[in-house]
Amino acid sequence: MAKGFRAFMNSTFPRFMAACYAKRQQLFGAPAEVNAYSAWVQKNYPTEAQRNKFFKEIEAFNYRPLISVVMPTYNTNPQFLQCAVSSVLAQFYNNLELIIVDDASPNEEVRAVIQNAAEKDKRVKYKFLDKNLHIAGVTNEGFAMSTGEFVALLDHDDELWPNALFEVVKLLNKHQDANFIYTDEDKIDEVPGHHFHEFFKPDWNLELLRAINYPVHLSVVRKTLIDKFGGERSEFDGTQDWEFFLRLARHTDKVYHVPKVLYSWRVHAQSTAQSFSSKPYLVEAQERALTDDLAARGFKNFTLVRDEVNNGWNTIFKPSGNPLVSIVIPSKNACEIIGRCFESIFVKTSYQNFEVIVVDTGSDEKQVQKLYDEFAQKHSNFRVVEFVEDRFSYAKACNFGATQANGEHLLMLNNDTEVITENWLELLLGDSAREEIGAVGVMLLYPGEEIVQHAGIVSGVGGSASNAFSTVKLHNQPLSISQHVLIFNKREVTAVSAACMMVKKSVFDLVNGFDSEFAITYNDVDLCLRIRNLGMTNIYNPYVRLVHHESISLGKPEEVKKRDLAEFKRAQELFHSRYPDLIKYGDPFFNINFDRTNPFHVLKSQAEVLRK
Amino acid 597: pLDDT: 66
- The pLDDT of residue 13 is above 50: no
Is it true that 2-293 and 325-606 share their CATH fold? yes
pTM attached to this predicted model: 0.88
Topology adopted by domain 325-606? Spore Coat Polysaccharide Biosynthesis Protein SpsA; Chain A (3.90.550)
**The one-letter amino acid at 290:** L
Read off the pLDDT of each residue in 54-81 and give the average, rounded to a whole number: 96
Identify which of 196-200, 265-269, 502-506 has the greatest average pLDDT: 502-506
Region of residue 270 (left: phi > 0; alpha: psi -120 to 50; beta: else) = alpha
- The pLDDT of residue 282 is above 60: yes
Angle, helices 240-249 vs 134-145, to 10°: value is 60
- The pLDDT of residue 465 is above 50: yes
By mean pLDDT, which of 9-23, 29-43, 313-327 is the weakest? 9-23
**pLDDT per position as a tens digit, 218-238:** 999 999 999 998 899 999 998
Local confidence band at 507 (pLDDT 50, 70, 90 cut-offs): very high
Amino acid 594: pLDDT: 78
Distance of CA 342 to the CA centre of its chain: 34
Local confidence band at 2 (pLDDT 50, 70, 90 cut-offs): very low
By mean pLDDT, which of 36-45, 182-191, 525-534 is the weakest? 36-45
Beta bridge partners, 27, equal none
Cα–Cα distances in angstroms (integers) from residue 29 to residues 14, 32, 249, 403, in the given order: 21, 9, 42, 70
- The pLDDT of residue 4 is above 80: no
Between 43 and 483, the higher pLDDT residue: 483
Local confidence band at 482 (pLDDT 50, 70, 90 cut-offs): confident
Task: Report domain extents, the chain.
Answer: 2-293, 325-606
By mean pLDDT, which of 124-128, 235-239, 467-471, 608-612 is the weakest? 608-612
Amino acid 273: pLDDT: 52
Amino acid 47: pLDDT: 87
Local confidence band at 270 (pLDDT 50, 70, 90 cut-offs): low
Amino acid 16: pLDDT: 40
Amino acid 551: pLDDT: 52
In the chain, the percentage of residues whose pLDDT exceeds 70 is: 87
Amino acid 404: pLDDT: 97
C-alpha 329/C-alpha 383 separation (Å) is 11
CB 215 within 8 A of CB 182: yes
Mean pLDDT of the chain: 87
Read off the pLDDT of each residue in 376-397 and give the average, rounded to a whole number: 93
Amino acid 568: pLDDT: 85
- The pLDDT of residue 532 is above 90: yes
Architecture category of domain 2-293 in CATH: Alpha-Beta Complex (3.90)
C-alpha 237/C-alpha 228 separation (Å) is 21
Residues shown for the chain: 612
Amino acid 530: pLDDT: 97
The burial of 154, by beta-carbon neighbours within 10 Å (0-12 exposed, 13-18 middle, 19 or more buried), is given as buried
Radius of gyration of the chain (CA): 27
Local confidence band at 529 (pLDDT 50, 70, 90 cut-offs): very high
Identify which of 270-274, 364-368, 474-478, 566-570 has the greatest average pLDDT: 364-368
The burial of 114, by beta-carbon neighbours within 10 Å (0-12 exposed, 13-18 middle, 19 or more buried), is given as buried
Local confidence band at 11 (pLDDT 50, 70, 90 cut-offs): very low
Amino acid 34: pLDDT: 40
Amino acid 346: pLDDT: 97
Amino acid 611: pLDDT: 37
- The pLDDT of residue 379 is above 80: yes
Local confidence band at 14 (pLDDT 50, 70, 90 cut-offs): very low
Amino acid 118: pLDDT: 96
The burial of 517, by beta-carbon neighbours within 10 Å (0-12 exposed, 13-18 middle, 19 or more buried), is given as middle
**pLDDT per position as a tens digit, 143-172:** 999 999 999 999 999 999 999 999 999 999
Dihedral of CA atoms 127, 132, 138, 140 in degrees, nearest 10, equals -110
Instruction: Tell me how many helices (H) and strands (E) the chain has.
Output: 22, 23
CB 78 within 8 A of CB 48: no
Local confidence band at 64 (pLDDT 50, 70, 90 cut-offs): very high
Distance of CA 87 to the CA centre of its chain: 27
